[in-house]
Amino acid sequence: MSFGFMGIQFGWGLQMANMSAIYEYLGAKPEEIPMLWLAAPLTGLIIQPIIGYMSDRTWTKLGRRRPYFLVGAILSSIALVFMPNSSAIWMAAGLLWILDASINVSMEPFRAFVVDMLPEKQHSKGFAMQSFMIGVGAVIASALPWMMSNWFGVSNETVAGGIPDSVKFSFYLGAIAFIGAVSVTIFTTKPYPPADLEEFRRKNAESKGIGAAFQEIFSSIGNMPTTMKQVALVQFFTWPGLFLMWFYYSVAVARNVFGAEDGTQAYTEGIEFAGLTLAYYNLVTFVFALALPWLAGKLSMKVTHALCLAAGGLGLISVKFVSDPNMLFLSMTGVGIAWASILSMPYAMLGNSLPKEKVGIYMGIFNFFIVLPEIIASLGFGWVMESVLDNDRLAAVMLGGGLMLLAALFTLRVQMGQVMGEE
């Protein structure tokens, strides 16, 4: 059921570890990087609630969620093949829009799929297994360029305005892994149909059209459960910390730890080593994900999540004090612990507060509180980089750690078990 999420992570993992470097290979300046990442949050903001609404109302031979898995996987794999062949910044940015839109089509229904298929008492285990699969996929995806050059002898040399072959072949393999893993979920699971299929279809026929979709989305936003509002605030501060890491960590390692300049062999080696440490934090994620249900049972979900976020925040801040590149693995241990929890605990905390017939749309709305801060960062952080941080990539990473610590404090204020209509 969760195997497809491993494939989806090839799409996310490859872009998170490599897109900033790809933009810089093609000539982008540091203050331009946040704006060039704007594709991901905008596509998520628009597509996820719509796909959630549609998948709540879909029933085909492939069931409710699986048609969206398939279409998104096909489109994402095509975009992954074309991405590393970009010859200009505008081309890479355009392909990122297509890639992110396609990944969102596949990814959003996977969250609802867990709630569809499992009883409430197994939700935390189901989402933890998704974290495990995400970790497996991300380990491989993040390390692929390093593996290509160090294990398989693929060239990692750059020429002016060019993307190394090690990156290109990594994206090609990622495309194959994406559609292959999603296909496993599609063809080996059997979703449960609605109890009264005819009544299900009749009700859906009464609320067709984009107008009905937006009306339902806005109505659902206005009636969010209290628990969802509180967890949304946690997400609002958690994800900017992650975005700043993804924006600047790889290039900060190349410049601040390796002391390299753009276009040099040392710079490419720094980017590859950063990718290796990103792979490591995902290794920590999929191992730690196995312990999360037990830990949440002992400490409660919100205390567990708060501690994990604190570990991630301290991990990002500690990058400032790294002198030996191998110390980055210690920093990324904290990030891996946080990432395991981020991928599962917020969704598990929501589980009991969402009505079954609206799980898809509420999971899409919940994504607002991931993408809105990224939109803010994409539109405004370029100015912060240029005018406040003096284009210091490492300072941006540390700021991300501080935001994650703030999110940990907000987690402790979450009131569990607040259902629809309770205020």
3-state secondary structure of 29: coil
Model confidence at 78: pLDDT above 60: yes
The pLDDT assigned to 46 comes to 75
In this model, does residue 183 exceed pLDDT 70? yes
Helix (H, G, I), strand (E, B) or coil at 152: coil
pLDDT computed for residue 271 by the predictor: 83
- Per-residue pLDDT at 421: 39
DSSP string, 382-415: HHHHHHTSTT-HHHHHHHHHHHHHHHHHHHTT--
Mean pLDDT of all residues in 270-274: 85
Task: Assign 270 a pLDDT band (cuts: 50, 70, 90).
Answer: confident
Query: Radius of gyration over alpha carbons of the chain, in Å?
Result: 21
Burial letters 31-67, b for 16+ CB under 10 A, else e = bbbbebbbbbbbbbbebbbbbbbbbbbbbeebbbbbb
Distance in angstroms (rounded) separating the CA atoms of residues 171 and 206: 43
Tell me what pLDDT residue 176 has: 94
Q: How many residues does the chain have?
A: 423
Which residue is it, tokens 């440490």? 277
Q: Which domains does the chain have, with CATH numbers?
A: 3-411 (1.20.1250.20)
pLDDT at position 352 is 66
Q: Is the pLDDT of residue 290 over 60?
A: yes
Asked if residues 340 and 268 have their Cβ atoms less than 8 Å apart, the reply is no
User: HSE on the CB side for 244, CA within 13 Å?
Assistant: 32
Distances (CA, A) of 394 to 33, 113, 270, 388, 391: 14, 38, 14, 13, 9
What is the predicted pLDDT for the residue at 317? 95
Do 132 and 286 touch, CB atoms closer than 8 A?
yes
3-state SS assignment for residue 343: coil
d(CA 51, CA 376): 23
Q: CA torsion sign, 175 to 177 to 182 to 184?
A: positive
What average pLDDT does this structure show over 278-288?
Answer: 83
Contact (CB, 8 A) for 138 and 285: yes
